């Protein structure tokens, strides 16, 4: 069973005035984690890191417990209307992490203990959009599941949305410690998506995360409890054994979740990178085997002024046809939300 135990934990002084802050503090002491109380500002010093590599790996073992001061939520197109800020970063060390370019060089894990205020704000957003429904995304800046054992935030958020007429909540994870969520009352208002890849890709690039089997088992446990389940397949990588291995992954998924095949949703994302992401990846993982050769890609300007290197059109077409065909074969309801 996956369990994240940080090497050090920093607590903002104010955070200890909240029950969750106090509980996490006691738990860290019980586990023998090096704990420190810091001022109520946003800067965290005290994480070692003379090189980008050291900074990254030390930060990934650091928990920061704070109070969220900005209660304005960012928008979250296209997957939801708003981000729900519960956690930032995660203890996983995926070489192609989608947060590579948005978090600092020290991507420590930050949790916000004023969950009641955050959920109250979510309610305000829902009321403003009424009678339209509002969709909230819990993993825009993190994978919130690894710290659930300390925070209980996902369970609390799930039970909050279960009672909201005009709100839905979704999050995506690569982790498997779903047991605390099994007894939550969710009223089918929640979608949990598991980010998966072929076994080879997970082993090679998604360090410190659970295996494909563990993720599938976690999905099954939640499906058995009537949660809506989705799979985010990505980044899809075009490598020598891709057809065989992605087929194996999909057939395993279909076999394991055979009772729920018609209800699953799929999001398909091919591998891409920006100049900045490549630079960051090479600093932290200088020996990476990720395909980061610009000459094998096509460059496309993104909507925010920076460009991305995508697979060329013929490769995209091949990947798209393959996944469409296989998903149609294994999952008759064929619910692909998008392929990019």
> End-to-end distance of the chain based on CA atoms, in angstroms?
33
Is residue 149 near ligand SF4 by the rule CB under 6 A? no
Is residue 237 near ligand SF4 by the rule CB under 6 A? no
Query: Could you please report the per-residue DSSP string of 266-313?
Result: EEEEE--B-HHHHHHHHHH-TT--S---GGGSEEEE-TTS-EEEE--H
Binding residue for ligand SF4 (CB under 6 A) from 63, 94, 237, 264? 94
Tell me if 173 sits within 8 A of 192, measured CB to CB: yes
User: Which one of 12-20, 62-70, 94-102, 183-191 is the stretch in contact with ligand SF4 (CB under 6 A)?
Assistant: 94-102
Is residue 192 near ligand SF4 by the rule CB under 6 A? no
User: Which one of 48-56, 87-95, 181-189, 265-273 is the stretch in contact with ligand SF4 (CB under 6 A)?
Assistant: 87-95
Tell me if 284 sits within 8 A of 276, measured CB to CB: no
Residue 178, token pair as written in the block: 């779903």
Q: In what order do the strands lie in the sheet with 265-270?
A: 82-83, 134-137, 167-173, 190-196, 228-236, 265-270, 336-339
Binding residue for ligand SF4 (CB under 6 A) from 137, 143, 148, 267? 143
Is residue 99 near ligand SF4 by the rule CB under 6 A? yes
| Min dist. Cβ of residue 133 to ligand SF4 (A) | 27
Binding residue for ligand SF4 (CB under 6 A) from 97, 135, 232, 281? 97
Residues 162-181 within binding reach of ligand SF4 (CB under 6 A): 174
Helix (H) or strand (E) holding 232: strand 228-236
Residues 196-225 within binding reach of ligand SF4 (CB under 6 A): 209
Residue 150, token pair as written in the block: 């300390």
Q: How many residues bind ligand SF4 (CB under 6 A)?
A: 10
Is residue 90 near ligand SF4 by the rule CB under 6 A? yes
Nearer to ligand SF4, 38 or 269 (CB): 269
Is residue 148 near ligand SF4 by the rule CB under 6 A? no
Q: Is 301 exposed, middle or buried (0-12, 13-18, 19+ CB in 10 A)?
A: exposed
Q: CA-CA distance, 174 to 219, in Å (whole number)? A: 10
Is residue 118 near ligand SF4 by the rule CB under 6 A? no
Residues binding ligand SF4 (CB under 6 A):
90, 92-94, 97-99, 143, 174, 209
């Amino acid at each position: 069973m996956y369990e994240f135990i940080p090497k050090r934990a920093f607590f903002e002084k104010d955070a200890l005035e909240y029950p969750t802050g106090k509980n996490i503090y006691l738990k860290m002491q019980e586990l023998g984690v090096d704990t420190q109380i810091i001022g109520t500002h946003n800067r965290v010093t005290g994480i070692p890191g003379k090189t980008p590599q050291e900074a990254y790996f030390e930060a990934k073992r650091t928990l920061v417990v704070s109070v969220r001061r900005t209660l304005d939520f960012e928008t979250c197109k296209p997957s939801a209307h708003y981000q729900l800020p519960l956690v930032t970063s995660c203890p996983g060390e995926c070489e192609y992490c989608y947060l590579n370019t948005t978090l600092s060089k020290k991507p420590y894990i930050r949790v916000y203990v004023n969950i009641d205020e955050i959920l109250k704000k979510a309610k305000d957003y829902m009321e403003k959009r009424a009678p339209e429904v509002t969709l909230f995304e819990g993993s825009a800046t993190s994978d919130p599941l690894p710290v659930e054992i300390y925070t209980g935030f996902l369970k609390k958020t799930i039970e909050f949305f279960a009672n909201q007429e005009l709100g839905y909540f979704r999050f995506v994870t690569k982790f498997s410690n779903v047991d605390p969520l099994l007894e939550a009352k969710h009223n089918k208002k929640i979608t949990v998506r598991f980010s998966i890849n072929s076994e080879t890709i997970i082993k090679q690039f998604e360090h410190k995360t659970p295996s494909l089997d563990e993720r599938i088992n976690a999905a099954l446990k939640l499906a058995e409890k009537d949660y809506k389940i989705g799979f985010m397949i990505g980044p899809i990588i075009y490598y020598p054994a891709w057809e065989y291995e992605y087929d194996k992954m999909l057939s395993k998924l279909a076999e394991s979740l055979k009772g729920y095949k018609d209800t699953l949703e799929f999001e398909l994302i091919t591998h891409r990178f920006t100049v900045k992401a490549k630079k960051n990846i090479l600093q932290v993982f200088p020996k990476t085997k990720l395909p980061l050769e610009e000459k094998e890609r096509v460059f496309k300007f993104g909507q925010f002024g920076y460009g991305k290197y995508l697979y060329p059109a013929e490769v995209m077409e091949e990947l798209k046809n393959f996944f469409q065909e296989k998903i149609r074969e294994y999952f008759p309801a064929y619910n692909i939300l998008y392929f990019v």
